[in-house]
Structure 1
């Protein structure tokens, strides 16, 4: 939605300006839509992508490559955080659309377990993540479980 794109583009623009590598894991929105929203937020997408500051990837390639594997996914994202630090960034900012969960063979509880595990997987690296749940697609129970795994929640543009 437009509100989602506004929020995520502001999030990523802020992360880039603050010196973080920003990774967007796209699913419901094609990468071109994310890039357009970032341009509207004043981000030079071409330059930031060429420099390695901004990466827009297919969420399925991260979460579902060969089927959902919690440990492999945590390991891949932890490696991304470690590489960001080695490359001189202040940290890693991730923004991910969670609609990929509908294509996973894993239970939603297992996906929530991934979020809990990832939160504790990078204690030595500053990682900030914006997990995006389209509440029109997740039922109330799933949304409640997801909310319990996050220290802060943005709903309708309010923290």
Structure 2
């Protein structure tokens, strides 16, 4: 993930930590070295003290990159990944379902590490996850890293998180030039949802075909679903608009009249997570 707002960072940290605890995983948080531990704890605990017990029993741990690579003083990918592999094995041996780590990349400047070393680690970390119950978020503060570095890291990672909880992201691209929606297609994002569909329909007018992927949405409102059907019904220049959706989304679209839109073909898929 990347952020340029401290509130965004804490929203994601809190959600990531609490989800891991609820799943019975061990959680390690490596915050930005410049943030006092008292602030980190206050942020994670807000609005209640429900994470305090997890810290007391060792399920939730605050750490730092200096601690992870100790006794080394200079960062190396081999040292860091070796320690994380060992911590994953330790977590499962202790009876936890797995290990998850939130790593704020503010440590790079604090340790004076070359960004080329960081880039190599981020693009060669598959072994950390293969065959292991390990989850990791790397958080890049856009006020500290260049746009080129952030863009490179977004390409290097298999997933890029939305900047804010409750937001909507629309993207077109490879491999099949489909319009993909990610996040929350609710009333607050309905205008953006509609506009993205309008642009995609205009862009594919010559091809007369469009694929719309809804499977990465956490929520699809009646308003957004209705907007989709209305726009597809009005796209008389298209021979086919394929809508890939989850079971609940498919059921909603059918109840709203999807079967009466001749050029729309709804295809139910299993969610990709």
Q: What is the TM-score of this pair, normalised by structure 2?
A: 0.54
Between structure 1 and structure 2, the one with the greater Rg is 2
* Corresponding residue of 1:51: 57
Gapped regions of structure 2 (runs ≥ 5):
1-5, 168-182, 184-273
Check whether the contact 2:69–2:83 (CA below 8 A) recurs between aligned residues.
no
Given the alignment, which residue of 66, 76, 79 partners 2:83? 76
Match of 1:6 in 2: 11
Aligned residues of 1:9 and 1:41 also touching (Cα < 8 A): no
Q: Between Structure 1 and Structure 2, how many residues are aligned?
A: 159
Instruction: Select 1:34's aligned residue among 17, 25, 40.
Output: 40
Aligned residue number for residue 134 of structure 2: 127
Do residues 60 (structure 1) and 66 (structure 2) align? yes
Are 1:118 and 2:147 counterparts?
A: no
Structure number with higher strand proportion: 2
Structure with bigger helix share is 1
Question: What's the offset of the Cα at 1:63?
Answer: 4.8
Structure 1: gaps (5+ residues): none
- Tell me the CA shift for residue 54 of structure 1: 0.2
Match for residue 110 of structure 2 among 103, 114, 117: 103
Q: CA RMSD in A?
A: 1.9
Query: More deviation in 79-88 or 56-65?
Result: 56-65
TM-score normalised according to structure 1 size: 0.89
Match of 1:140 among 138, 147, 161: 147
Aligned residue in 1 for 2:22: 17
Counterpart CA distance in 1 for 2:96 and 2:133 is 10
Distance 2:13 2:60 in 1: 13
The Cα of 1:103 is off from its aligned counterpart by: 3.2
* Map of 1:155 onto structure 2: 162
